[in-house]
Amino acid sequence: MTRQGLLIVISGPSGAGKGTICQGLLQNNKDMCLSVSCTTRAPRPGEKHGVNYFFVGKPHFEQMIANNQLLEYAKVYDNYYGTPRQYVEEKLAMGMDVILEIDIQGALQVKQKYPQGVLIFVVPPALSLLKERLTKRGTDSLETIANRLRCVCEELSNTGRYDYLVINDTVENALDQAEAIIKAEKCRPSRFDITKFLDC
């Protein structure tokens, strides 16, 4: 009997460590994959269609929106980004657990269209630590970091709409918490067809 896969949505402020947690989950679980998003932007050097993104034209993307073929989407700087429903549903039907690493807006769209999905929000133990992580990364200007930190409070106000909160004090602890959440979710009675187990 093939088990229906679990749709796992992971969000969090920039620098909270959600990408690292996603990579850890993928390394530890062979029956887990990262969803491939669609985008209307041009491929960057080294990017491959179907691996990094599904690269599609704007009319095609807008047709996908009209046909309800996306679990979530957003427009960022004149380009669309979204999660194709068919790709995700095919993987779930194969018994694969699918991770979506997306922002709050996208996560809440997914929850509306796929309520059995599991939403996990990753936070650092303190705002000061988040500032330190963003600064050490060395990829953003001080102005960009300040803007990101201003957005954190607004993001945190939405955590009550998620199913779980993971505090990333260390990567090991955060990964253990995420693994425990996923294991517990797979044991929910609502995820089983009990008639397959019983003879009554």
**Binding positions for ATP:** 12-19
Task: Determine the Cα–Cα distance for residues 56 and 71; give it in Å rounded to an integer.
Answer: 16
In a 10 Å sphere around its CB, with 0-12 CB exposed, 13-18 middle and 19+ buried, how is residue 51 labelled?
A: exposed
* Nearest one of 191, 29, 163 to 96, comparing CA atoms: 29
Which residues, including other chains, have CB under 8 Å from residue 184's CB and lie 6 or more apart?
none
Asked if residues 106 and 74 have their Cβ atoms less than 8 Å apart, the reply is: yes
Give the amino acid at 4: Q
Query: How many whole angstroms from its chain centre is CA 30?
Result: 17
Known binding-site residues equal: 12-19
Task: Determine the Cα–Cα distance for residues 177 and 168; give it in Å rounded to an integer.
Answer: 9
